[in-house]
Structure 1
């Protein structure tokens, strides 16, 4: 692939990472709002359903993020192999360590927030 094709692939991969964060973020925010409106006192089946929807969305979102991050790292590896890099390519290469935030930190944050919301839903 050419440098231009790889840069375009990077742009698409970065977009996938961004979009994959929308649904879980929205659902986490919505659940916090519903907790404020009394979801914690709703029937247990409603609380379990809310937790299940959030978990399914979070797992799918995390899988997409991890996969997109892995693809981004592959694009970075291919860009490194190209000689005579443009400034754009050098900037993309400098972002390589931050791709690991998407792979590891973002899913970890989701787990922590999810556990806190489960505690609010069922314990507290």
Structure 2
């Protein structure tokens, strides 16, 4: 692949990373809002359903983030192998270690938030 094609793949991967974080973030925020306005006092089956929806979307979101992060790392490896000296390529390659935040930190944060919200749902 050419440098230009790889840079375009990086841009697409970065966009997919951003988009993959929007839905789970909105869902977590919505659940916090629902807890604030009475979800914790609803029937236990409704709370279990909310926990299940949150878990399913979180798993899917994490899988997408991990997969896209792996693809982004592959793009940076290919860019590094090209040996280009363009400023754009150097910046993309230098940003590669930060992709690991999406692979490891973001899913870990989701798990912590999920457990906290699950406790709030169960304690209802």
TM-based fold match above 0.5: yes
C-alpha distance in 1 between matches for 2:80 and 2:17:
21
Listed one character per residue, the Cα deviations across residues 25-49 of structure 1 (whole Å, up to 9, x for unaligned) are 0000000000000101100110011
Gaps of 5+ in 2: none
More helix as a share of residues: 2
Q: TM-score, normalised by structure 2?
A: 0.98
Gaps of 5+ in 1: none
Q: CA RMSD in A?
A: 0.7
C-alpha distance in 1 between matches for 2:39 and 2:8:
44
Hey, what does 1:3 align to over in structure 2?
Answer: 3
Runs of 4+ in 1 over 4 A off after TM superposition: none
Q: TM-score, normalised by structure 1?
A: 0.98
SS of 1:21 mapped into structure 2:
helix
Hey, what does 1:96 align to over in structure 2?
Answer: 96
How many residues matched? 124
